Structure 1
């Protein structure tokens, strides 16, 4: 592999000839085909860079209700202010801090969501953890924090989403192309993301009326990006936001239960 190629870690996961690294006309949140009118969405991990942009995409697309959560209250309030400037009149925005690894906290999150926006139609599991550290070298508690957030946290949020979904809804969970490789120092992260994929695959089979998707966000420059991958971090977080909108539409039915990369070219 030519590691001087900026697409070295992107091309192996593509199913389309065209590789997209930024939002393009068909995936602009303003497109009528991506309208979120009448839909309510709950987005985790909004304290991070990708989650914030996902929320902005849903606001631009006119969602009727947007619930954002994360641990950083100040960031959530700032994002909520930004969303209020983007949403159409009547859209409800709730910023609710939560620790997704605590069931009590997640239960409180959904109780607040019910009061603010009613039933949540779409869940986007974008919260994630990448502690880093070699197997046998990393502190076990730190190593398994990736499992606490990426597996337990995503499961708890999904569990409570399903409890209020009445058997119908959409779940988009973020995974990573790194699950197909071995990256030294990322064992906890890749193993936990692989475990999340299998849980989502089971959900897809067990509840056929729940639309399940797993999304690879590409390589985005965030606080979680490891140094070795920073030269390849050329993907826009807006691409992830647009793809979550696309996956919530009937056009994505054929992708249900599968893993899709944001770098692939979508077709309407």
Structure 2
């Protein structure tokens, strides 16, 4: 790496959308810290994929709701590239249940990861990002579509949107952009888990392009927002969902 190499942290970078973002940013020449919660094999596989393509990456385990673990994640980025230029917060948890039947322990676990985790990562990003950097968080288009059984998850992502938009205003003067990507139905392991083929087919028809999104579709949006080309977009929620209402 040269001293001008930009460095990115991608939480939830071992699988799904996060992994697609990590490999996409590495293809753009960024050194990438692949943050992961527990599956080291998947994280190391992501690193191997990046390195095989000529990129630079390292895997670091971190519970995003643990402020000490997240600080260590940023320390790893400092060691890899001398500082942090991009933070993509893709880690998240999803629990589906009608509100009347929701287990409150599940609600607490969901909100610990999705709300506290977003706040902890955003706090470190605000303190440690280099000027001209970028933060990209992840919400969901269900905040607007309001599908049944998504109450807890959508509520947590509504909080993510609020944190993101306020952080964008708080970082005035540092030329740091802060945006949120809100995917529609996307063919990830987390999304497909427990859904019938009929339900998946129905969800694929919800947008005019008549298909599910792919992790690479979403990674392209995140990479644009993290790039110099996307630096005039700031304080926005981008609903990357193929035109779903």
Same topology, TM > 0.5: yes
* 1:40 match: 7
Give, in whole Å, the separation in 1 of the partners of 2:112 and 2:154: 13
* 2:115 match: 151
* 2:150 match: 186
Give, in whole Å, the separation in 1 of the partners of 2:91 and 2:67: 15
Q: 1:162 is matched with which residue: 126, 133, 145?
A: 126
Q: Deviations over 1:29-56 (max 9, x none)?
A: xxxxxxxx83211101123211111111
| 3-state DSSP of counterpart to 2:124 | helix
* 1:252 match: 230
* 2:219 match: 241
2:61 counterpart of 1:61: no
* 1:212 match: 178
Q: Is the 8 A contact 2:8 2:77 kept in 1?
A: no
CA RMSD of aligned residues (A): 2.1
Give, in whole Å, the separation in 1 of the partners of 2:25 and 2:232: 22
Larger RCO (CA within 8 A; separation ≥ 6):
1
Give, in whole Å, the separation in 1 of the partners of 2:235 and 2:213: 24
* 2:200 match: 230
Between 223-232 and 174-183, the greater mean CA deviation after superposition: 223-232
Between 249-258 and 95-104, the greater mean CA deviation after superposition: 249-258
Give, in whole Å, the separation in 1 of the partners of 2:166 and 2:182: 18
Q: Is the 8 A contact 1:221 1:230 kept in 2?
A: no
Give, in whole Å, the separation in 1 of the partners of 2:99 and 2:87: 32
Residue 190 of structure 1: how far off its partner (Å): 0.2
Give, in whole Å, the separation in 1 of the partners of 2:133 and 2:108: 30
Between 217-226 and 48-57, the greater mean CA deviation after superposition: 217-226
Count of paired positions: 225
Give, in whole Å, the separation in 2 of the partners of 1:108 and 1:130: 25
Q: Is the 8 A contact 1:172 1:213 kept in 2?
A: yes
Q: 1:97 is matched with which residue: 51, 61, 80?
A: 61
Give, in whole Å, the separation in 2 of the partners of 1:112 and 1:251: 27
| 3-state DSSP of counterpart to 1:173 | strand
* 1:78 match: 45
Q: Deviations over 1:109-162 (max 9, x none)?
A: 222221222211000011111111222422111023221111111211121122
2:100 counterpart of 1:133: no
Q: Deviations over 1:57-115 (max 9, x none)?
A: 1122222x111011211111111111101135xxx311101111111211222222212
Q: Deviations over 1:227-262 (max 9, x none)?
A: 275221621211122222211234324431111133
Structure 2 gaps, min length 5: 205-210
| 3-state DSSP of counterpart to 1:257 | coil
| 3-state DSSP of counterpart to 1:224 | helix
Residue 168 of structure 1: how far off its partner (Å): 4.1
